[in-house]
């Protein structure tokens, strides 16, 4: 219905600026209220990152160091309740571990594993996507078939399996740091598919454009063409996927740790803290689980809000 | 003069967007008599379809009718409460949309869609409605209607589907049919049949027809009168022979020049330079002035009002009655 | 139709074969069955003998063939922790998981469709905005946190519902059901909500988006032009067209529900396959992990196949194109 669609025409006549300009233009202008929510989310995310980075300055103790934990300080309620004790603002757990310090250090682990997992998944996915899209043929078919099959399984199941296999292969050699590595690999292997699909799609489109043909004509080698010319064009969508996947990666790490297949009690992440605290829920010591839970929920919620905003801003059509 | 079936007076339709309020229809007036076919012609974006939608009360927010009156057989139907205008739609006004492929719900049998419409507007029983649906399908020329009634839309060709859509539009014996580009999406070979069908139905039932199209050929062979629209206004309206043979408005002249005729093969088709302005950038004065070959100063400042010229009516300063000599 | 079904079936078999290779690789290489069966003082000769008796010195291909044939008969080896056949362990736990998954899916569909339709039709009401907020939380909060929150509210604080287990179960042949007792129903409420919440938000968002999309289509406009009542348009035409893709997605999601029950079952100590699997991961019980992978894949692949075929039954357009292709 051509005539009925008149009002829409005013919108699609803007000059085709870069996606960044478009993002600034569409969103901050478009819905102030939504932006305000996004600002808050961005501020909270930034706060969490700062807390994690400066954890060792902010915390009253190092919760990973058994020597600093004293059993006589165990199960103290938060400071504002009747039995609260300084300096334990959010109380302590069974081990005499300060809950706030444990959250700060746990946050550090959760963010580190999440970021590293996303980077690993991104690197793997982008590389496979570039290869599949650029070379096509059998390589493409094999990679995308694997992607199809894997996409039908939930990431958590794949991460659990990778984790179980790693445990079985490494056995007792698995200390805290290598557990960290295993988690990053498990998350990376669970989340690469989306990157690969997106990059492959863009490569297929870009491949046929003139500038790539021109680059081929002047004899640029294939990897150079892909990294210098094709990849930059896919950065927008990749950024969106990475942001949303950061939240997913943190959830996955927390879930693995909660299930007892992630970070051990001696070096707890937020998920581990929640698993430990869950055991004391019935005893009335709610703070051991509540504060790590709130920290995790707040972190994920604000990253998700950022991701939503980013997606809408970069691709207004999806709204 | 008998009362017209449809009477539109000074209709204005606005779309309120974030950036501005756009006036898609600006002071449109016309009548359609019983049994008459009025063609509405113009480029896409001229406001033809919006006019049709306004009449049937289907302008959705952010659009709204901001001024003017619409009367159907003497009763005002703009600004009716939603429930009352719903009773008018389908019963007193039938509508035919452009694309028969998407006008029918793909998951319902066509019979069910017709029966549903009949039963919404009448007290017929299920079986009586089904008999009527079969009669209607036969009337619009669908072979073996008693079998086809249980088919799904995808089992019909484009032309056949448009016949079903027409059957749906006439199933409650409406006084007025609005056909919005009913043949645009169809094969050329089918277009003539559909046009003939609409014309025949209008004649047989005495229904008034508003035929929206950008196809001057269709207008010339189907309509009694024609309204040429430009930028949300009627540039010229009058009996079809007059407007086609002797267009007055410079835009109508250009439009008629764009009809290829078998007789004038040696003549080059006249083209109007430029394109219709966007709604957000309609020039002051006459909206056609930037493209007009006869433009003079007044056209850039003052909006021309419709002026009677015999049986035609034209909105152009060129036809101002003898004022220039007097002054 | 037959050719279509056959092609889909062959694809499904292909996927199962691929998963089978992975399961076998895990079974054979990740966990050495011999090490699990012997003590430290078993001599090398004895180890070799066990190795031979288990057929572990045969060519890999032969071993895979054997594993494959056994798997076809639901023989997945012996659990390291329980010293029991994996298949009987899984069979014992399966009813609990399936009941939980089914109740959770029904909850997710009913609540998700109602909320989705409401928020599509009454877009700017407070309730619709509340639903949007709930959906954001449902997508953001990790499942186990929601479970813990529910336990804290309804089990610890209010004491209305049990915090773990299935309640009383009734044996119906080999199937044990908790759905025939009051305590069973009480026990399933919180796990089902926890498990279904994510799917519910998914379905709600999908219904809302699809419904808004459908309401913009030409046939809805034409239905309005025909003067049909708003109710007939919304709940007849629009809803029916909305539900076709929604039911597909919900069906496909059933496999995920079963996989996600790993987390819910751990939080609520629900005696299902998921809990068994988590314990297997914690204790490096490879045969259970491999078997669970195969079982879940089988469920996934079967559901995908069934949904693909059912889809053609629901949508008349596909029915005939598929019929023509056949």
Count Cβ–Cβ pairs < 8 Å, chain A vs chain C: 104
Sequence length of chain C is 326
Distance between terminal CA atoms of chain A?
22
The pLDDT value given to residue A238: 86
What distance in Å separates the CA atoms of residue B237 and residue B223, rounded to the nearest whole number?
Answer: 12
Which chain B residue shows the shortest CA-CA distance from A30?
B18
Tell me if B154 and C320 make a contact (CB, 8 A cut-off).
yes
C227 touches chain B (CB under 8 A): yes
**DSSP conformation class of C83:** -
Specify the 3-state DSSP secondary structure of C216: coil
List pLDDT tens digits, range A173-208: 667 788 888 889 888 888 899 899 888 888 887 777
Work out the minimum CA distance from B70 to partner chain A, whole angstroms: 19
Kindly tell me if the per-residue pLDDT of B6 is higher than 70: yes
List the B93-96 sheet strands across, edge first.
B93-96, B176-180, B208-213, B37-41, B225-230, B233-239, B312-314, B307-309
Tell me if B50 and A6 make a contact (CB, 8 A cut-off).
yes
Whether complex ipTM tops 0.90: no
Are B164 and B108 in contact by the 8 Å Cβ rule? The answer is: no
Residues of C in contact with A160 (CB under 8 A): 262, 277-278, 281
Higher pLDDT, B162 or A167: B162
C255 touches chain A (CB under 8 A): yes
Are B194 and B159 in contact by the 8 Å Cβ rule? The answer is: yes
List pLDDT tens digits, range B82-127: 888 888 888 899 898 888 888 888 888 888 999 999 998 888 898 9
Q: Which two tokens stand for residue C218?
A: 């030409």
Interface test with B, best of A6, A13, A27 (most B CBs within 10 A): A6
Specify the 3-state DSSP secondary structure of B225: strand
CA dist B251 → B210, B261, B312, C234 (Å): 21, 19, 15, 43
Question: If we measure between CA atoms, which residue out of C168, C197, C182, C186 comes closest to residue C271?
Answer: C168
For chain B, state the CA radius of gyration: 21
Give A 2-31 residues with CB within 8 A of chain B.
Answer: 2-4, 6-7, 9-10, 13, 30
Q: Of B90, B117, B152, which has the smallest distance from its Cβ to C316's Cβ? A: B152
Work out the minimum CA distance from B170 to partner chain C, whole angstroms: 10
Q: Of B18, B44, B62, which has the smallest distance from its Cβ to A3's Cβ? A: B44
C74 φ/ψ sector (left φ>0, alpha ψ -120 to 50, else beta): left
Residues of C in contact with A254 (CB under 8 A): 142, 144
Q: Which residues pair with B70 in a beta bridge?
A: B8
The pLDDT value given to residue A249: 92
| Residue found by looking up tokens 């229904």 in the block | B207
Distance between terminal CA atoms of chain B?
36
Q: Of A165, A260, A293, which has the smallest distance from its Cβ to C148's Cβ? A: A293
> Could you tell me how far CA B300 lies from the centroid of its own chain?
29
The pLDDT value given to residue B218: 83
A293 touches chain C (CB under 8 A): yes
List pLDDT tens digits, range B171-229: 888 889 998 888 887 888 888 888 888 888 888 888 899 999 888 888 888 889 999 99
What distance in Å separates the CA atoms of residue A189 and residue A183, rounded to the nearest whole number?
Answer: 10
B287 touches chain A (CB under 8 A): no
List pLDDT tens digits, range A201-255: 888 877 777 777 777 777 777 777 777 777 777 777 888 888 888 998 999 999 9
Any chains having at least 3 CB pairs less than 8 A from chain B are: A, C
Tell me if C222 and B95 make a contact (CB, 8 A cut-off).
yes
Work out the minimum CA distance from A33 to partner chain B, whole angstroms: 15
What distance in Å separates the CA atoms of residue A77 and residue A74, rounded to the nearest whole number?
Answer: 9
What distance in Å separates the CA atoms of residue A121 and residue A187, rounded to the nearest whole number?
Answer: 7
- What residues does each domain of chain A span? 33-63+79-318
Interface test with B, best of C210, C218, C226, C241 (most B CBs within 10 A): C226
The H or E element that residue C52 is part of is: helix C44-53
Q: Of A6, A13, A30, which has the smallest distance from its Cβ to B45's Cβ? A: A6
Q: Which residues pair with B239 in a beta bridge?
A: B225
Interface test with C, best of B55, B72, B90, B105 (most C CBs within 10 A): B105
What distance in Å separates the CA atoms of residue C326 and residue C324, rounded to the nearest whole number?
Answer: 5
Quick one: average pLDDT of B284-307? 84
E-strand ranges in chain C read: 170-172, 175-177
Q: Which value, to the nearest 10 degrees, does the dihedral of the CA atoms of residues B270, B271, B277, B283 take?
A: -50
What distance in Å separates the CA atoms of residue B125 and residue C39, rounded to the nearest whole number?
Answer: 84
Specify the 3-state DSSP secondary structure of B28: strand
CATH superfamily of A33-63+79-318: MetI-like (1.10.3720.10)
Quick one: average pLDDT of A27-56? 75
3-state secondary structure chain A: CCHHHHHHHHCCCCCCCCHHHHHHHHHHHHCHHHHHHHHHHHHHHHHHHHHHHCHHHHCCCCCCCHHHCCHHHCCCCCCCCCCCCCCCCCCECCCCCEHHHHHHHHHHHHHHHHHHHHHHHHHHHHHHHHHHHHHCHHHHHHHHHHHHHHHCCCHHHHHHHHHHHHHHHHHHHCCHHHHHHHHHHHHHHHHHHHHHHHHHHHHHHHHCCHHHHHHHHCCCCHHHHHHHHHHHHHHHHHHHHHHHHHHHHHHHHHHHHHCCCCCCCCCCCHHHHHHHHHCCCCCCCCHHHHHHHHHHHHHHHHHHHHHHHHHHHHCHHHC
What distance in Å separates the CA atoms of residue B6 and residue C18, rounded to the nearest whole number?
Answer: 69
CB atoms inside a 10 Å sphere around CB B141: 17
Q: Which two tokens stand for residue C191?
A: 């796990």
Question: If we measure between CA atoms, which residue out of C171, C182, C192, C166 comes closest to residue C271?
Answer: C166
**Phi, psi of C171, deg, nearest 5:** -85, 125
Work out the minimum CA distance from B50 to partner chain A, whole angstroms: 6
CA dist A38 → A51, C132, C160, C172 (Å): 20, 16, 38, 54
Distance between terminal CA atoms of chain C?
5
E-strand ranges in C132-233 read: 170-172, 175-177
CB atoms inside a 10 Å sphere around CB A18: 9
C153 touches chain A (CB under 8 A): no
Average pLDDT of the residues of chain B: 84
Q: Which residues pair with B225 in a beta bridge?
A: B38, B239
Higher pLDDT, C250 or A74: C250
List pLDDT tens digits, range A107-149: 999 999 999 999 999 999 999 988 888 887 888 888 888 887 7
Higher pLDDT, C130 or A23: C130
The pLDDT value given to residue A5: 38
Q: Is the dihedral of CA C286, C289, C291, C293 positive or negative?
A: negative
List pLDDT tens digits, range A240-251: 888 888 998 999
What distance in Å separates the CA atoms of residue C260 and residue C275, rounded to the nearest whole number?
Answer: 11
Tell me if B89 and C241 make a contact (CB, 8 A cut-off).
no
Which chain A residue shows the shortest CA-CA distance from C22?
A161
Specify the 3-state DSSP secondary structure of C98: helix
Tell me if C262 and A278 make a contact (CB, 8 A cut-off).
no
What distance in Å separates the CA atoms of residue B319 and residue C326, rounded to the nearest whole number?
Answer: 68
Q: Which residues of chain C have pLDDT under 70?
A: 1, 30-41, 54-55, 311-326
pLDDT grade for A27, boundaries at 50, 70 and 90: very low
Which chain A residue shows the shortest CA-CA distance from C255?
A153
List pLDDT tens digits, range A255-300: 988 888 888 888 888 888 888 888 887 777 788 888 888 889 999 9
What distance in Å separates the CA atoms of residue C272 and residue C178, rounded to the nearest whole number?
Answer: 12
Specify the 3-state DSSP secondary structure of C176: strand
Are B169 and C223 in contact by the 8 Å Cβ rule? The answer is: no
For chain C, state the CA radius of gyration: 24
Work out the minimum CA distance from C250 to partner chain B, whole angstroms: 20
pLDDT grade for B263, boundaries at 50, 70 and 90: low
List pLDDT tens digits, range B32-71: 988 889 999 888 778 888 898 899 888 887 888 888 889 8
Tell me if B45 and A3 make a contact (CB, 8 A cut-off).
yes
Residues of B in contact with C227 (CB under 8 A): 86-91, 117, 120-121, 172
The pLDDT value given to residue A113: 92
């Amino acid at each position: 219905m051509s005539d009925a669609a008149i009002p829409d025409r005013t919108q699609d006549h803007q000059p085709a600026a870069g996606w960044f300009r478009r993002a600034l233009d569409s969103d901050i202008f478009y819905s102030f209220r939504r932006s305000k929510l996004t600002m808050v989310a961005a501020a909270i995310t930034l706060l969490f990152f700062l807390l994690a980075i400066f954890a060792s300055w902010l915390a009253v103790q190092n919760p990973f160091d058994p020597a600093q934990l004293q059993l006589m300080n165990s199960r103290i309620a938060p400071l504002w309740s009747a039995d609260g004790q300084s300096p334990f603002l959010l109380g302590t757990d069974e081990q005499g571990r300060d809950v706030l310090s444990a959250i700060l250090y746990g946050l550090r682990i959760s963010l580190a594993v999440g970021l590293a997992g996303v980077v690993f998944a991104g690197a793997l996915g982008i590389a496979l996507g570039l290869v599949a899209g650029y070379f096509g043929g059998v390589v493409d078919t094999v990679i995308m078939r694997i992607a199809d099959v894997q996409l039908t399984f939930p990431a958590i199941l794949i991460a659990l399996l990778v984790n179980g296999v790693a445990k079985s292969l490494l056995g007792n050699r698995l200390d805290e740091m290598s557990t960290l590595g295993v988690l990053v690999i498990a998350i990376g292997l669970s989340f690469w598919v989306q990157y690969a699909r997106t990059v492959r799609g863009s490569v297929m489109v870009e491949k046929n454009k003139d500038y790539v043909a021109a680059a081929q004509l002047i004899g640029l080698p294939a990897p150079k063409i892909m990294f210098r010319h094709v990849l930059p064009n896919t950065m927008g969508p990749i950024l969106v996927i990475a942001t949303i996947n950061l939240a997913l990666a943190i959830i996955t790490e927390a879930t693995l740790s909660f299930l007892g297949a992630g970070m051990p009690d001696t070096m707890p992440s937020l998920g581990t803290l929640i698993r430990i605290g869950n055991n004391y829920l019935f005893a009335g010591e709610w703070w051991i689980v509540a504060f790590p839970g709130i920290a995790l929920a707040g972190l994920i919620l604000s990253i998700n809000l950022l991701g939503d905003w980013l997606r809408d801003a970069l691709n207004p059509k999806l709204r | 003069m008998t009362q017209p079936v449809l009477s539109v007076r000074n209709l204005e339709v606005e779309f309120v967007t974030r950036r501005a309020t756009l006036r898609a229809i600006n002071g449109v007036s016309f009548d359609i008599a019983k049994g008459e076919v009025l063609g509405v012609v113009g480029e896409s974006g001229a406001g033809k379809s919006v006019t049709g939608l306004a009449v049937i009360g289907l302008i959705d927010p952010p659009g709204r009718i901001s001024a003017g009156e619409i009367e159907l057989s003497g009763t005002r139907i703009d600004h009716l409460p939603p429930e009352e205008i719903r009773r008018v739609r389908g019963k007193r006004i039938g509508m035919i949309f452009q694309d028969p492929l998407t006008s029918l719900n793909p998951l319902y049998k066509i019979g069910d869609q017709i029966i549903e419409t009949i039963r919404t507007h009448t007290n017929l029983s299920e079986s009586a409605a089904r008999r009527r649906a079969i009669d209607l399908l036969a009337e619009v020329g669908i072979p073996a209607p008693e079998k086809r009634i249980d088919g799904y839309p995808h089992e019909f060709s484009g032309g056949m589907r448009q016949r079903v859509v027409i059957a749906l539009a006439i199933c409650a014996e409406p006084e007025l049919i609005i056909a919005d580009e009913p043949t645009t999406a169809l094969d050329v070979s089918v277009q003539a049949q559909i046009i003939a069908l609409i014309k025949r139905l209008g004649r047989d039932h005495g229904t008034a027809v508003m035929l929206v199209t950008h196809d001057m050929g269709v207008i010339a062979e189907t309509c009694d009168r024609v309204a040429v629209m430009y930028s949300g206004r009627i540039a010229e309206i009058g009996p079809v022979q007059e407007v086609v043979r002797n267009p007055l408005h410079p835009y109508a002249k250009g439009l008629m020049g764009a009809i290829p005729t078998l007789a004038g093969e040696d003549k080059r088709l006249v083209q109007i330079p430029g394109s219709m302005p966007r709604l957000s950038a309609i020039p002051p004065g006459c909206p056609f002035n930037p493209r007009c070959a006869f433009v003079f100063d007044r056209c850039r400042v003052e909006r021309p009002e419709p002026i009677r010229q015999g049986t035609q009516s034209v909105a152009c300063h060129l036809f101002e009655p003898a004022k220039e000599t007097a002054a | 139709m037959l050719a279509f079904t056959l092609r889909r079936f062959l694809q499904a078999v292909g996927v199962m074969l691929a998963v089978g290779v992975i399961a076998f690789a895990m079974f054979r290489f990740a966990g050495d069955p011999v090490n699990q069966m012997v003590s430290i003082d078993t001599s090398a000769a004895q180890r070799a003998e066990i190795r031979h008796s288990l057929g572990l010195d045969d060519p890999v291909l032969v071993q895979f063939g054997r594993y494959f044939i056994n798997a076809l008969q639901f023989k997945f080896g012996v659990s390291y922790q329980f010293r029991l056949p994996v298949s009987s362990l899984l069979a014992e736990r399966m009813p609990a998981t399936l009941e939980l998954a089914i109740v959770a899916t029904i909850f997710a569909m009913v609540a998700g469709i109602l909320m989705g339709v409401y928020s599509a039709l009454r877009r700017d009401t407070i309730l619709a905005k509340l639903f949007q907020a709930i959906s954001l939380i449902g997508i953001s909060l990790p499942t186990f946190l929601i479970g813990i929150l529910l336990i804290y509210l309804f089990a610890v604080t209010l004491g209305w519902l049990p915090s773990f287990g299935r309640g009383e179960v009734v044996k119906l042949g080999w199937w044990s059901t908790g759905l025939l007792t009051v305590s069973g129903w009480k026990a399933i409420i919180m796990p089902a909500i926890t498990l279904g919440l994510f799917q519910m938000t998914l379905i709600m968002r999908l219904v809302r988006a699809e419904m808004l999309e459908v309401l913009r289509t030409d046939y809805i406009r034409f239905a309005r032009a025909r003067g049909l009542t708003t109710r007939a348009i919304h709940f007849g035409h629009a809803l029916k067209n909305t539900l076709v893709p929604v039911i597909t997605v919900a069906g496909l999601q059933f496999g995920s529900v079963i996989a996600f029950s790993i987390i819910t079952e751990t939080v609520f100590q629900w005696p299902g396959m998921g809990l068994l699997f988590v314990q297997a991961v914690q204790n490096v019980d490879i045969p259970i992990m491999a078997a669970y992978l195969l079982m879940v894949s089988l469920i996934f692949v079967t559901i995908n196949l069934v949904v693909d075929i059912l889809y053609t039954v629901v949508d008349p357009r596909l029915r005939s194109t598929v019929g023509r292709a056949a």
